[in-house]
Structure 1
């Protein structure tokens, strides 16, 4: 599979559905979610990312979610396995397991908790993981969770590494993303992870999106990517904004799960501490936002 070509589209960072008390992963709901995405034109899936609450899963659970995803996708689209960790060995362990079960790439963030890390330290970390990973590595820039953005010089250096596939940028900084596009080779995959900036990013040369809300309305995201009609794309992007605002208020995992429950895709919006479910006053707004998005695709 040519990953550069395969990821030129919309990839979904999967939520991790739980039973009502959140103590167990709901295997059937995860399968239903994947079917919902594949039937509506999604080009790839990313289990155990931020939206997938990886930080609230045990290592065994993370591996189990990867296994379930690869098994159910059955080669139809690429699977990018979440390998975020604070040590090189742990990130490589997730990458090794992902390779063993047939995932296509490993997604790696900067080491978190330390705070803003020196660019040289981040580069050494990513290089060490990429050197040892048996599958390609996708960088994941998410500064609110790691203490800072990956330095542009670090990205341009890593873009020359034969085992670094590209980057998901969730910074919300469009100029930063455009600088990555300008200063990396054409084959380096650049994915916009900030839903509200997807259309401008695509128009300026991003290869695709890796967007939480594509869980909820995959057909609209696929339409947004494929459409040559700028007005239609802009209308869908505008309709994304209210739901994106709900995610900003309540968190991407909780808000996305509430929206999926509203659509009947998963039976429960349960999340694990420290996350909390969307309060009652937010549910109506999320429902209205989902309805608006569905109408935008008609």
Structure 2
């Protein structure tokens, strides 16, 4: 079992059946697309953009085995396994590691707001101790505007001191680059084998320049190819132009509810309107929003030609 490879990840959107259950087969096919023509180095299913906290536990528990049966490389997947109940987090993480997927992206317990550092340490240490497998690699998930449970640098370093390489990295979805910088400076970033991932591709080169590991983003469901172009471009005018295209796409995507917007784009790409289904309380784009998104996508395409 390998640590997750570094690079550009999509926080993969989730397809649902008519009865609201997760369509695992379609999700696997979609992730295979992301990992090939979609331009991604890796995928993060059942995370925030994947409506993971709205997916039934039974579906989440079965998913890693289905990924394994499909032969998706284990170092290219970060399963979201966070849950308010520590026992559910352990069960989801164990299902992943039992299927060969040892890299997990773990939300803090997000029902009780502003928990203490001691409480957060207890939650994450419980996960590591209950799994009791040295191949486990935990990526902490800092998204305080949603979880209301911020993860401090002191908690991160206390966990690393206790569990070493098992605490492998962190996704910083705060949207604040100075917060990303603080995580890198506190941990040493990739130079000390701790992989910090900002959540916006607009921060790609700012992040790489200080020692981040790549990007994990919701909008890379649609725009990872652009991000890879910017990542591989030589410094200078070519990179500047590529990053401008990345920022323009990210700015456009941010005009719409992210999950519904990405699902609409996938429905258009695949010709499959079942992608428009959302897990309550989230809802699809309105007709007006769809028209705006279509016009914005046309404008992006025209600007790129």
Settle same-fold status: TM greater than 0.5. Answer: yes
Task: Work out which of the residue numbers 223, 227, 230 in structure 1 matches 2:239.
Answer: 230
Structure 2 unaligned regions, length at least 5 = none
Distance 1:18 1:198, change over 3 A: same
Give the distance between the partners of 1:189 and 1:297, measured in 2 at CA. 32
Corresponding residue number in structure 2 for 1:87: 85
Give the distance between the partners of 1:60 and 1:288, measured in 2 at CA. 39
Any idea what the Cα deviations from partners look like across 1:184-233, whole Å, max 9, x if unmatched? Answer: 03200111113443343233331100111111123122223222243133
TM-superposed CA distance for 1:49, in Å, is: 0.5
Give the distance between the partners of 1:288 and 1:158, measured in 2 at CA. 47
The RMSD of aligned alpha carbons is 2.3
Question: Are 1:195 and 1:211, in contact at CA under 8 Å, matched by a contact in 2?
Answer: yes
Task: Work out which of the residue numbers 27, 34, 37 in structure 2 matches 1:37.
Answer: 34
Question: Counterpart of 2:219 in 1: which secondary structure?
Answer: helix
Question: Counterpart of 1:166 in 2: which secondary structure?
Answer: strand
Pairs within 5 Å for 1:176-215: 176-185=179-188, 186-215=192-221
Task: Work out which of the residue numbers 101, 108, 121 in structure 2 matches 1:103.
Answer: 101
TM-superposed CA distance for 1:296, in Å, is: 6.5
Corresponding residue number in structure 2 for 1:154: 155
Distance 1:164 1:77, change over 3 A: closer
Any idea what the Cα deviations from partners look like across 1:225-249, whole Å, max 9, x if unmatched? Answer: 22224313322222223333234xx
Corresponding residue number in structure 1 for 2:281: 274
Distance 1:145 1:182, change over 3 A: same
TM-score by length of 1: 0.88
Corresponding residue number in structure 2 for 1:169: 172
Question: Are 2:74 and 2:101, in contact at CA under 8 Å, matched by a contact in 1?
Answer: no
Corresponding residue number in structure 1 for 2:266: 260
Give the distance between the partners of 1:63 and 1:224, measured in 2 at CA. 36
Question: Counterpart of 1:132 in 2: which secondary structure?
Answer: helix
Any idea what the Cα deviations from partners look like across 1:58-107, whole Å, max 9, x if unmatched? Answer: 11111233333343353275211111111322211111110111213111
TM-score by length of 2: 0.87
Corresponding residue number in structure 1 for 2:290: 283
Give the distance between the partners of 1:63 and 1:244, measured in 2 at CA. 31
Question: Counterpart of 1:191 in 2: which secondary structure?
Answer: strand
Distance 1:118 1:57, change over 3 A: same
Question: Counterpart of 1:209 in 2: which secondary structure?
Answer: strand
TM-superposed CA distance for 1:289, in Å, is: 3.6
Give the distance between the partners of 2:81 and 2:196, measured in 1 at CA. 18
Question: Counterpart of 1:116 in 2: which secondary structure?
Answer: coil
Distance 1:3 1:199, change over 3 A: same
The structure with higher relative contact order (CA 8 Å, sep 6+) is 1
TM-superposed CA distance for 1:295, in Å, is: 5.9
Give the distance between the partners of 1:141 and 1:195, measured in 2 at CA. 17
